[in-house]
Amino acid sequence: MHPARRCSSLLHRDLAAVCLSSLGTHPKKSGPLKESSLPSSRLCVYPSPTRSNCSPVLLGSSQVCQMGSGSSSRLFSTLAQTLSSAALSDPHVDPDDYEYEQADPDALLRECEEVLRNRPPRLHRDFAMTRACSLQNAPLRIMQWNILAQALGEGKDGFVRCPMEALNWSERKYLILEEILTYRPDVLCLQEVDHYFDTFQPVLASLGYQSSFCPKPRSPCLDVHNNNGPDGCALFFNRRRFQLLHTTHLRLSAMMLKTNQVVVVVTLRCRLTGRVFCVAVTHLKARSGWEAFRGAQGAHLLQQLRDITAQSYPEMDQENRTRVGASEEGIPLVVCGDFNAEPSEEVYRRFMTSPLGLDSAYKCLSEDGTTEPPYTSWKIRPSGESCSTLDYIWYSERAFQVDSVLRIPSEEQIGPDRLPSYHYPSDHLSLVCDLSFSQQPHRLM
């Protein structure tokens, strides 16, 4: 075991005790949402709609799926069993229409740490407090992350300083889940998701998240041999804390052309405060030379968001209806994404000057409060080294206050081989911030 990795008590469990039981899924019953006591680390499987390369292993009456290369350093843990070679009787059923046995996030985190015990420790990052906050404000934790599509990482992106073994999905998925479980966001926005149905949707559903996934129409993952299907944007939210009012999937346009970039937008009502807000996740066009194209995509996205946030919904109470009707900016908004754009680009300026009244949460890390971090992505490809600020969490400045943001790791922490690596699973850093609803009525009306 790497000395900095904690050895969990799961090492001493019987193998069958940490393997997933074949519990099956069943439709949700109508009625109010049940509170869960998160009793154990067992998960229900939502079978992947795509091909699975793994062969089932029988343990008593349980059927699980063998993952990885068979190395003795890897365990058949709870999370390893999220893939199944079986098919749903109805492949058109929405996974969120099924009820999953709830898992213990602490137990799952320990299992991640155990599987990763031979890898270097994950990057240590602290939160920077931007203002004194109270739990009475019921802060919302937002996480933004381009997790790197598995097919692209192994087949297209050419990370010349990253060993292929470091990108092996049988362990890399644990690094991704470890990061999510460490920060436990209320809202999670992901890009380059190509293992939604077989990994992230079932695992996060067992942790109390509801979700929506929109694949790219022409995903580059499909050009990679043995791919797992198209990549896209996925949005997850804590279903105990939020009520879903509306979901929209958008395909962005630029210069009157439909593009390959997509958006997921959800309108949520906070069960604690009654406040209604929208969250959007997107991933704009990559590569230099496409700056004007990204600017046009951003203009289209802002117009669509303005239309969506101007709507009222039957589930809104009168107070929220009044807020929306009296404000030019509409429903409060959070926009997360890999914009593939530095702050000097047109798309960034469009968001900063939008009538929606948006600001970037990570500017709070700078001394003057006006500067973005020096990088959110750092990689080495055959074309050279790239250190760029591409990822953002935008929020309605009138409606939210930033309580804290997760610091960016130093160059020394990242290491000379940059990202991804054995200790970090993506070429993009996760962004995490805590937002509180403003308590000042004059700023809401």
Give residue 2's pLDDT: 61
Give dist(CA 437, CA 397) in Å, integer: 10
> Does position 121 have pLDDT exceeding 50, yes or no?
yes
Model pTM score: 0.80
Confidence at 316, pLDDT banded by 50, 70, 90: confident
Confidence at 83, pLDDT banded by 50, 70, 90: very low
> Does position 124 have pLDDT exceeding 90, yes or no?
yes
More confident residue, 401 or 316: 401
Confidence at 133, pLDDT banded by 50, 70, 90: low
Q: Which amino acid is at 168?
A: N
pLDDT cut 70: percent of the chain above it = 73
Give residue 30's pLDDT: 41
Give residue 344's pLDDT: 98
Q: How far is CA 108 from the centre of its chain?
A: 17
Mean pLDDT value of segment 113-127: 95
> How many Cα neighbours within 13 Å face the side chain of 105?
15
Closest listed residue to residue 429, CA positions, set 370, 380, 387: 387
pLDDT in tens, 150-188: 999 998 888 999 999 999 999 999 999 999 999 999 999
Mean pLDDT value of segment 367-377: 96
Q: Which residues contact 368 (CB under 8 A, 6 or more apart)?
A: none
Give residue 319's pLDDT: 72
> Does position 376 have pLDDT exceeding 70, yes or no?
yes
Q: Rounded to whole angstroms, what are the CA distances from 231 to 44, 56, 111, 156?
A: 23, 26, 26, 13
Give residue 297's pLDDT: 98
**Cβ–Cβ under 8 Å, residues 180 and 238:** no
Give residue 374's pLDDT: 98
Cβ-based neighbour number of residue 115 at 10 Å: 28
Highest mean pLDDT among 68-72, 205-209, 437-441: 205-209
Give dist(CA 2, CA 116) in Å, integer: 9
pLDDT in tens, 408-436: 999 999 999 999 999 999 999 999 999 99
pLDDT in tens, 304-314: 999 999 987 77
Give residue 138's pLDDT: 83
Tell me the DSSP string of 225-289: TT--S--EEEEEEETTTEEEEEEEEEEEEETTEEEEEEEEEEEEEETTT--EEEEEEEE---STT
pLDDT in tens, 252-289: 999 999 999 999 999 999 999 899 999 999 999 999 99
Give residue 88's pLDDT: 37
Lowest mean pLDDT among 55-69, 80-94, 349-363, 377-391: 55-69
Beta bridge mates, 431: 144
Confidence at 213, pLDDT banded by 50, 70, 90: very high
Give residue 101's pLDDT: 83
Cβ-based neighbour number of residue 289 at 10 Å: 6
> Does position 295 have pLDDT exceeding 90, yes or no?
yes
> Does position 108 have pLDDT exceeding 90, yes or no?
yes
Mean pLDDT value of segment 2-17: 39
In degrees and rounded to multiples of 5, residue 323 shows phi and psi of -60, -45
Give residue 324's pLDDT: 60
